[in-house]
């Protein structure tokens, strides 16, 4: 007897700390609500070895360089009718905007992974100003 394995619904059922996000495509009317997404920090130690793709790592924190402005968003492929693209924006539950840099299908093509960067200056978010004495 063959065992049937279908992981399509697993991500939303077994993931912890999932949040609602919105995927937007600047310059178009593409706007999609995603009910269950997971955000993870991204390792950027050697971009040349990965052809500028962002990769995760299980190395101890002392052996990796983590940037809090670089993250990977994971969500089920069933949540979208269109493929995410570099340049798309993700708006998270805290109002932070993330620009999609790269997109990859994961886990037997049932989940999207979007490598993103928070480009607050580009999006015109208010940033604290630092006074430099002259």
Mean pLDDT (the chain, rounded): 75
- What digits encode the pLDDT tens for the residues 27-38? 999 889 999 999
User: Looking at the domain assignment, is residue 67 inside a domain?
Assistant: yes
User: Looking at the domain assignment, is residue 19 inside a domain?
Assistant: yes
User: Looking at the domain assignment, is residue 129 inside a domain?
Assistant: no
DSSP string, 80-130: -SS---TT-EEE-TTS-EEEEEEEEEETTTTEEEEEEE--TTTTT------
**CATH code at position 46:** 2.40.10
Of 13-17, 50-54, 102-106, the poorest mean pLDDT is in 50-54
- What digits encode the pLDDT tens for the residues 55-110? 444 443 434 444 457 899 999 999 999 999 999 999 999 899 999 999 999 888 88
- What digits encode the pLDDT tens for the residues 116-125? 998 876 656 5
């Amino acid at each position: 007897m063959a065992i049937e394995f279908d992981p399509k619904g697993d991500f939303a059922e077994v993931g912890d700390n999932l949040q609602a996000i919105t995927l937007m495509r600047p310059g178009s009317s593409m706007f999609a609500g995603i009910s269950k997404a997971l955000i993870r920090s991204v390792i950027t130690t050697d971009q040349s070895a990965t052809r500028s793709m962002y990769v995760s790592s299980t190395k101890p924190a002392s052996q990796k360089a983590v940037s809090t402005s670089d993250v990977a968003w994971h969500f089920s492929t069933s949540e979208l009718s269109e493929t995410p693209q570099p340049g798309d924006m993700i708006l998270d539950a805290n109002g932070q905007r993330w620009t999609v840099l790269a997109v990859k299908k994961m886990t037997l093509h049932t989940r999207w992974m979007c490598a993103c960067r928070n480009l607050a200056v580009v999006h015109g978010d208010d940033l604290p100003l630092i006074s430099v004495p002259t």
